[in-house]
Amino acid sequence: MRRCPSPNFNERPEGTVVDLALIHSISLPPGEYGGDAIERLFTNRLDWNAHPYFATIRGLQVSAHFLIRRTGERIQFVSCDERAWHAGPSVWKARPQCNDFSIGIELEGLEDMSFETAQYDSLASLLRALSDRYPILDVAGHEHVAPGRKRDPGSSFEWHRLQALSGWPAERFAGLSGAPPAAS
């Protein structure tokens, strides 16, 4: 795994238990894969004038703990002990501010488009490794913690496939068990 430190993080609230893995999707520009724009965005080095789409996100300061490329390569931006800035306004099981208690994992891709086998394999392996250190109870998509605002990873994400690869029970996956209402 390659490391690419992001300045976009802060401390988790004291005593916070990290028990949610939060799955996202991203490509920059949308639909283009393999470049360095995601890394540049997460490290505040994106040239806002390099593509017309970048002007629409000018000044955005975001990060994730991990990015999984289409090839399955993993890049870590923020230590899992720190709070990455990936979820924005969000609620999971009546707990607001998911950044406080989640590990953000970006998959290189677009909502509602398919992901690669190498990404599922890498993600399942990462989840197993994370569960050795953190009590990960749930795996949810950005769409589950910010419904109406976010749609990723989207309808083409294969939750059953990830569940089978992880070996974890279906109840731990929001895409299989149904996400709780954001306000419940």
Burial label for 109, CB within 10 Å (0-12, 13-18, 19+), is: buried
Alpha carbon distances (Å) from 59 to 7, 49, 56: 14, 12, 9
Give catalytic status of residue 11 as yes or no.
no
First CA to last CA distance, the chain: 37
On whether the CB atoms of residues 64 and 84 are closer than 8 A, the answer is: yes
On whether the CB atoms of residues 119 and 68 are closer than 8 A, the answer is: yes
Say which of 106, 108, 111, 143 is annotated catalytic. 106
Rounded Cα distance, 109 and 68, in Å: 9
Residue carrying structure tokens 């800035």: 85
On whether the CB atoms of residues 140 and 177 are closer than 8 A, the answer is: no
On whether the CB atoms of residues 9 and 85 are closer than 8 A, the answer is: yes
User: Known catalytic residues?
Assistant: 106
